[in-house]
C-alpha cells in the first residue's frame, strides 16, 4: 500500500503554487513511472520519467497541479473515476482557510445521502482538491495508479 502522508503534509503546509510540489504530486500519483538514474549529470542523480524525462529531446514537464483547477480536477478524476466532488468558498472566521473540498464515493444525485470519503480545506482551491484526493487514496488503501 502506498503511503501518501508525506505529500499530504507538504500540501497542507504549502502557501501557494509550487513547481517543486507539482513534481512531487506527479511522483506520488505515478509511482511506477519514476526512474532514478545515478551519476548522469555532473555527478548528481537525475530523475527520469518512463516515456520521457530530464534528458535531451525527451524533456517532460508535469502539470501545474498546485496552480490549476483543471489539472487538479483532471488528476482527481483519473485516480478516482466516478467520484463525486463538492467545492465551497468562504470564511466564517478570519483565520479559516478560504476553500473547502469534499470527495464522495460516486457522483452526487438529488435526494441521495452521499458517502464522504475525504475532505480538505486550504487557501488555494487546487491545493485543497489535491489534499482531499491524497487523503481519499490514503484512507482507502490505493495501491496502484489506475
CATH of the domain at 113: 3.30.160
In a domain, 70, yes or no: yes
| Residue predicted with more confidence, 48 or 146 | 48
In a domain, 37, yes or no: no
In a domain, 71, yes or no: yes
In a domain, 41, yes or no: no
53 membership: H or E segment, kind and range? strand 52-53
In a domain, 10, yes or no: yes
What is the percent of the chain where pLDDT is above 90? 32
- pLDDT tens for each residue of 53-89: 444 434 456 789 999 999 999 999 999 887 877 878 7
What pLDDT score does 93 carry? 76
DSSP 26-79: HHHH-GGGEEEEEEEETTEEEEEETTEESSTT---PPP-TTT-HHHHHHHHHHH
In a domain, 45, yes or no: no
Give me the domain span that covers residue 133: 5-30+63-139
| Residue predicted with more confidence, 113 or 136 | 136
In a domain, 22, yes or no: yes
- pLDDT tens for each residue of 95-130: 878 888 888 887 655 556 677 788 898 989 999 999
Q: How many structural domains compose the chain?
A: 1
Written as nine digits, the cell of 61 is 514537464
In a domain, 135, yes or no: yes
**C-beta atoms surrounding 111 within 10 Å:** 4
Task: Kindly report the pTM of this predicted structure.
Answer: 0.75
| Residue predicted with more confidence, 30 or 74 | 74
What pLDDT score does 60 carry? 54
What pLDDT score does 33 carry? 64
What pLDDT score does 110 carry? 53
Q: Residue 33's closest CA among 18, 13, 17, 53?
A: 53
Amino acid at each position: 500500500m502506498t503511503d501518501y502522508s508525506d505529500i499530504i503534509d507538504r500540501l497542507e503546509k504549502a502557501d501557494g503554487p509550487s513547481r517543486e510540489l507539482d513534481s512531487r504530486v506527479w511522483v506520488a500519483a505515478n509511482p511506477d513511472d519514476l526512474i532514478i538514474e545515478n551519476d548522469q549529470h555532473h555527478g548528481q542523480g537525475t530523475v527520469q520519467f518512463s516515456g520521457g524525462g530530464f534528458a535531451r529531446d525527451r524533456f517532460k514537464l508535469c502539470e501545474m497541479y498546485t496552480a490549476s483547477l483543471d489539472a487538479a480536477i483532471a488528476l482527481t478524476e483519473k485516480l478516482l473515476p466516478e467520484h463525486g466532488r463538492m467545492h465551497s468558498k468562504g470564511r466564517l472566521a478570519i483565520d479559516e482557510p478560504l476553500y473547502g473540498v469534499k470527495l464522495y464515493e460516486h457522483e452526487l444525485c438529488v435526494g441521495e445521502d452521499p458517502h464522504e470519503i475525504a475532505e480538505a480545506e486550504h487557501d488555494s482551491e487546487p491545493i485543497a482538491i489535491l489534499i482531499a484526493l491524497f487523503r481519499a487514496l490514503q484512507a482507502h488503501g490505493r495501491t496502484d495508479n489506475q
